[in-house]
Amino acid sequence: MIAVLTDSTCDLPLEDARKLGVHIIPLTVHMQERDLLDWQEVDPDAVYHHMKSGGTASTTPVAVAAFAARYRELLDTHDEVVSIHLSGKLSETVEHARRAVTLLNMERRIHVVDSGLASSPLAEAVLAARTAILSGGDPASAVQAARAVCDQIHTEFSVLSLDYLRRSGRIGRTQAFFGNALGLRPILGFEGGELKALRRCKADHAIPDMLGGLRARFGDQPLSISVIHAGRDSGRIQALRHAVTTSGLNVKQARMQLMGPVIGAHVGPGTFGFMARPA
């Protein structure tokens, strides 16, 4: 038996992850002088409400000891573990996973993958690994499936401001200066495991800009699409869903995904984006 472990920044709802056979280890959110386990002890909207009120939130990666304990637990009931995590350039979580493997001397039984991604894109890589295992694959084929998704996937986010990312050190001061401008929304994407400010556009053009970019990139290819949104704003969610269905993209699979507390603490309220890969 092979277990698939990821961290809470994949933003998969915990109940969905359990049904899919995916194990999740949480990062920690620091807010209002409390340490809260991502998704388990804090809801995304609580983080966004706090930030909109002028409060701050920070995060801590999964500790080496926490990884070691979870690996021991999984290896009691599984032969091997495929452990897929958010980008090592955004968090020390994946490095802590590797340290735990070394501490346990379990390099042959635990296979750690740096996805170079976070949120819905990370979830896609994790689900691909799980599907490979359910199809009879071994850990090597699961790792290969996850990495194939990482190579295929294209994701862009639009944020209200890059200040949250700058304060947390996830984007440089120069990048933040480039992205922030009155009346414009920065568009970000993953490049080499980092979040980069790619361009900026008028606020009401952000959605068609990103979807137009997906059309230019993928053409008529059948696609798997995720719509990523920060907060449960029903009007925004409906607008994003409608934009995808009328975009002209060849959508074969689609899902809405709420951005979680840890990711939200860094990108801030009002963030949304689209993830696409060949279906």
Convert the pLDDT of each residue in 113-156 to its tens digit: 999 999 999 999 999 999 999 999 999 999 999 999 999 999 99
pLDDT at 213 exceeding the cut of 90: yes
| Mean pLDDT to the nearest integer, 199-215 | 93
Report whether 27 contacts 59 (CB < 8 A): yes
Q: What is the pLDDT of residue 168?
A: 56
Please, which pLDDT band fits residue 182 given cuts at 50, 70 and 90? low
**Cα dist. 38→14, 26, 28, 29, 103 in Å?**
11, 5, 5, 6, 25
Q: What is the pLDDT of residue 177?
A: 46
| Mean pLDDT to the nearest integer, 6-31 | 96
The pLDDT tens digits for 73-123 are 999 999 999 999 999 999 999 999 999 999 999 999 999 999 999 999 999
What's the predicted TM-score (pTM) here? 0.91
Find all residues with CB under 8 Å of 147, minimum gap 6, and list them: 113, 125
Of residues 175 and 74, more confidently modeled: 74
Percent of the chain with pLDDT over 90: 83
String of b and e for 251-277 (b: at least 16 CB within 10 Å)?
eeebeebbbbbbbbbbbbbbbbbbbbb
Q: What is the pLDDT of residue 180?
A: 52
| Mean pLDDT to the nearest integer, 40-49 | 95
pLDDT at 167 exceeding the cut of 90: no
Q: What is the pLDDT of residue 118?
A: 96
pLDDT at 162 exceeding the cut of 60: yes
pLDDT at 172 exceeding the cut of 90: no
**Cβ atoms within 10 Å of 32's Cβ, excluding its own:** 11
pLDDT at 170 exceeding the cut of 80: no
Structural domains of the chain, ranges and CATH numbers in brackets: 2-27+62-151 (3.40.50.10170), 154-278 (3.30.1180.10)
Q: What is the pLDDT of residue 196?
A: 87
Average pLDDT, the chain: 92
Q: What is the pLDDT of residue 275?
A: 97
pLDDT at 175 exceeding the cut of 70: no
Q: What is the pLDDT of residue 161?
A: 77
Q: What is the pLDDT of residue 163?
A: 76
The pLDDT tens digits for 58-74 are 999 999 999 999 999 99
125, amino acid identity: A
Place of tokens 């472990």: 5
